Amino acid sequence: MVAEASAAGLVRVSLVDGPDAAQAMGEPGSEAPAAAEAHLVRLQGELEAYLRGDRREFTVPLDATGTPFQREVWAALRALPYGEVVTYGALAAALDRPSSVRAVASAIGRNPLLVVVPCHRVVGADGRLTGYAAGVGRKRALIDLERAAATAPPLMSDAEGAGLLTLSPAEAQGVIGALVQGGVPFEEVGPEAAGCAGPEVCVLRFAPGQAPGPIGLAFHAARGVTP
For the annotated catalytic residues, the residue numbers are 119
DSSP 119: G
Residue 113 has a CB neighbour count (10 Å cut-off) of 25
How far apart CA 29 and CA 45 sit, in angstroms, is 22
From the list 83, 131, 81, 82, the residue with the least C-alpha distance to 111 is 131
Task: Give me the half-sphere count of Cα atoms (radius 13 Å) on the Cβ side of residue 52.
Answer: 11
Strand 122-123 relative to strand 86-87: parallel, antiparallel, unpaired? Answer: parallel
Amino acid letter for position 216: G
Contact 81, 29 (CB under 8 A): no
